[in-house]
Amino acid sequence: MSGQETSASLAGRRALVTGGASGIGAACARELAARGAHVVVADRDGDGAHAVAEDVGGEAWVVDLSDTRALDDLRLDTDVLVNNAGIQRVSPLQDFVPDDFRLVHRIMLEAPFLLVRAVLPGMYERGWGRVVNISSVHGLVASPFKSAYVSAKHGLEGLSKVTALEGGEHGVTSVCVNPGYVRTPLVEKQMAEQARVHGIPEAEVLARVMLAESAVKRLVEPHEVAALVGWLTGPDAAMVSGASWTIDGGWSAR
Ligand code: NAD
């Protein structure tokens, strides 16, 4: 496969990236646009969504994905769906605010389900589709104080596998991508929250909590996750489905 063919692998395709205004989602929007896709940047942050959309020659969809009822009857024509939008809430279980738990689950599990439900009919009709779910290493292993995040991401792993099983015969693949700590605004906020919960300075959270188990000893960069997502939508990944791909600098190898 020549570089040129790879770079045009999504020519004529439409891609939808949720949480595309920032971090990993913005990097994915850029990667998929570079591969030729017309990218819809979906985010509740209107300014950010418009800025990224303009940057990639795509369009913005300003949407609050926590309002899941509004997604119930949705039908969307897209060839690539990247379920990426996410938030984090950190608290010991006994103090976890129930509405915070529900919010995390609505954005990171219910919305991905409703979007998969919305895109599959069109993908089945065209006989081609790629669903990439941005999960986390915490979709595969747990971490204290992150009950909502860990359980939503574990649920996303299951949803991705069921999508793969049902979609396979229609030309639809579904995968999870499982980053370790990535240098994004979400992680910066998380560092501050963990510092509060553990009662240690933020610099120590990075060294003792986030990088302690990393073999490579640095944060993952958003473009590195996006490159993997791009490859997973490409022609060489047609047989990659129902799988989970860690990109964590060796964090989960221990
Ligand atoms: P980020 O905060 O930089 O970006 C998240 C985006 O999602 C933001 O643009 C935000 O506006 C959007 N969003 C949040 N709630 C929304 C809602 N209700 N409706 C619409 N949009 C909403 O975060 P990021 O680090 O790029 O994270 C992206 C994804 O990657 C998340 O699913 C996260 O769980 C996952 N992830 C991140 C890391 C990391 O270390 N940063 C590691 C593993 C997995």
What is the pLDDT, as a whole number, of residue 254?
85
Ligand 1 in reach of 134 Cβ (< 6 A):
yes
The 3-state DSSP class for residue 154 equals helix
The 3-state DSSP class for residue 224 equals helix
Average pLDDT, the chain: 95
Q: How far is the CA of 107 from the centre of ligand 1 (A)?
A: 10
The residue among 37, 179, 157, 35 whose CA lies nearest residue 108 is 157
| Tokens read off for 235 | 């022609």
User: Has residue 57 got a pLDDT over 60?
Assistant: yes
Half-sphere exposure of 163 (CA within 13 A, CB side): 33
Ligand 1 in reach of 44 Cβ (< 6 A):
yes
Average pLDDT over residues 145-151: 97
- Answer for the pair 40, 13: CB distance below 8 angstroms, yes or no: no
User: Has residue 7 got a pLDDT over 80?
Assistant: no
> Ligand 1: which atom is nearest the Cα of residue 66?
18
Known catalytic residue at 181: no
Ligand 1 in reach of 65 Cβ (< 6 A):
yes
Residue-wise pLDDT for 175-226, tens only, equals: 999 999 999 998 988 888 778 888 999 889 888 888 988 999 999 999 999 9
Q: Tell me, what's the ipTM?
A: 0.99
42: β partners: 18, 61
Q: What is the dihedral of CA 190, 136, 64, 89, to 10 degrees?
A: -30
Residue 127: DSSP 8-state: T
What is the pLDDT, as a whole number, of residue 2?
43
- Three-class SS of 66-118: CCHHHHCCCCCCCCEEEECCCCCCCCCHHHCCHHHHHHHHHHHHHHHHHHHHH
18: β partners: 42
What is the pLDDT, as a whole number, of residue 209?
80
Residues of the chain with pLDDT > 90, as a percent, come to 86
Which residues, 6+ apart, have CB-to-CB distance to 212 below 8 Å?
Answer: none
12: left (phi over 0), alpha (psi -120 to 50) or beta: left
Distance CA 184, CA 220 (A): 9
Average pLDDT over residues 57-75: 98
What is the pLDDT, as a whole number, of residue 6?
59
User: Has residue 37 got a pLDDT over 70?
Assistant: yes
145, 149, 181, 245: which is the annotated catalytic residue? Answer: 149
Ligand 1 in reach of 20 Cβ (< 6 A):
no
- pTM listed for this prediction: 0.96
Ligand 1 in reach of 181 Cβ (< 6 A):
yes
Q: How far is the CA of 169 from the centre of ligand 1 (A)?
A: 31
- Answer for the pair 135, 160: CB distance below 8 angstroms, yes or no: yes
End-to-end CA distance of the chain: 35
Query: What are the backbone angles phi and psi of residue 167, rounded to the nearest 5°?
Result: -85, -20
